[in-house]
Structure formats: structure tokens, C-alpha cells
């Protein structure tokens, strides 16, 4: 348990509160160890949600996923083939280098994929429609 937020309306004893804080500190320590691991690979990611509409069986999202990482990781870590060109843009095809998963997705329709390698730093952009 990372946080100790309780919404039940119940009051807690000081012993329960202290135990919760100790568990929280222990979890923070584990997270800090992972985040500060020198072998960890840095990938900066962001997303933008452009539209959302209710459809039969779920919600259709228009999403843009953005990833920034070192080109050194493409073949060695991600197991993908590095594009020959530094700038690639593909329409209506399911391209990707960075391995990601959209949980609870029941349908994905690719719109655009952009790969841009700027002196070893990659910017990858995936635009898609996704039903969850």
C-alpha cells in the first residue's frame, strides 16, 4: 500500500495510524530503490486524450502516446529493428518500437506513427483510436 488514505469514515487508533505510516515508509523505500537503480532504463512518456465517446460495448478514445528514449535501447532492450532513417511517419498502420500495453483495450485502430531520432535521442509518437 503506497498511500494511507481511508475513506470509510471510520476513525483509526494511533497504533493503526503508526503501522500504516511504517508500511508506507517501507513501500517508499522499495520504490526509491527501483527508481535509483543505476541499471534502470530511462523512458520519458506522456499521453494526450483528444476525444472520448460512448460506443456499444465500451468507450472509444482518441489517444496520442509519446515516448522519449535513447536509440541504444531499440534493439538491445526493446527487441525492435531500428529504422534506417532518422525521421519516419506512417499513416494507418500499427507501427511501434516502444513496447506498451493499453489495459482493458478491446480494439485499437492506428492513425499515425512517428519516429524521430535526434542524435541518438528518440521521440516516438503513436496516435490511435482505442475502445476500452
Task: Note the pLDDT tens digit of each residue in 51-63.
Answer: 999 999 999 999 9
- The answer to whether 72 touches 90, Cβ cutoff 8 Å, is no
pLDDT category, 24, cuts 50, 70, 90?
confident
Is residue 100 within 8 Å of residue 78, measured between CB atoms?
no
- Cα 123 to its chain centre, rounded Å, is 14
Bridge partners of 129, per DSSP, are 62, 109
Q: Mark residue 9 as left, alpha or beta (left: phi above 0; alpha: psi -120 to 50; beta: remaining).
A: left
pTM value is 0.72
The total number of residues written for the chain in this structure:
132
The number of C-alpha atoms within 13 Å of 53 and in the hemisphere containing its C-beta is 6
**Residue whose C-alpha cell reads 534506417 in the numeric block:** 84
Longest CA–CA separation in the chain, Å: 63
Stretch 64-69: mean pLDDT: 96
Local confidence band at 5 (pLDDT 50, 70, 90 cut-offs): very low
3-state helix, strand, coil in the chain (%, to 5): 20, 40, 40
Amino acid at each position: 500500500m503506497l498511500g494511507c488514505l481511508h475513506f470509510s469514515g471510520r476513525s483509526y487508533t494511533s497504533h493503526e495510524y503508526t503501522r500504516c505510516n511504517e508500511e508506507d515508509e517501507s513501500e517508499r523505500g522499495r520504490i526509491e530503490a527501483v527508481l535509483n537503480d543505476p541499471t534502470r532504463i530511462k523512458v520519458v512518456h506522456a499521453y494526450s486524450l483528444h476525444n472520448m465517446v460512448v460506443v456499444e460495448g465500451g468507450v472509444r478514445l482518441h489517444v496520442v502516446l509519446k515516448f522519449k528514449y535513447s536509440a541504444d535501447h531499440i534493439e538491445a532492450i526493446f527487441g525492435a529493428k531500428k529504422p534506417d532513417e532518422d525521421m519516419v511517419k506512417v499513416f494507418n498502420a500499427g507501427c511501434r518500437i516502444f513496447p506498451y500495453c493499453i489495459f482493458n483495450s478491446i480494439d485499437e485502430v492506428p492513425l499515425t506513427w512517428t519516429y524521430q531520432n535526434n542524435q541518438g535521442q528518440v521521440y516516438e509518437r503513436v496516435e490511435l483510436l482505442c475502445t476500452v
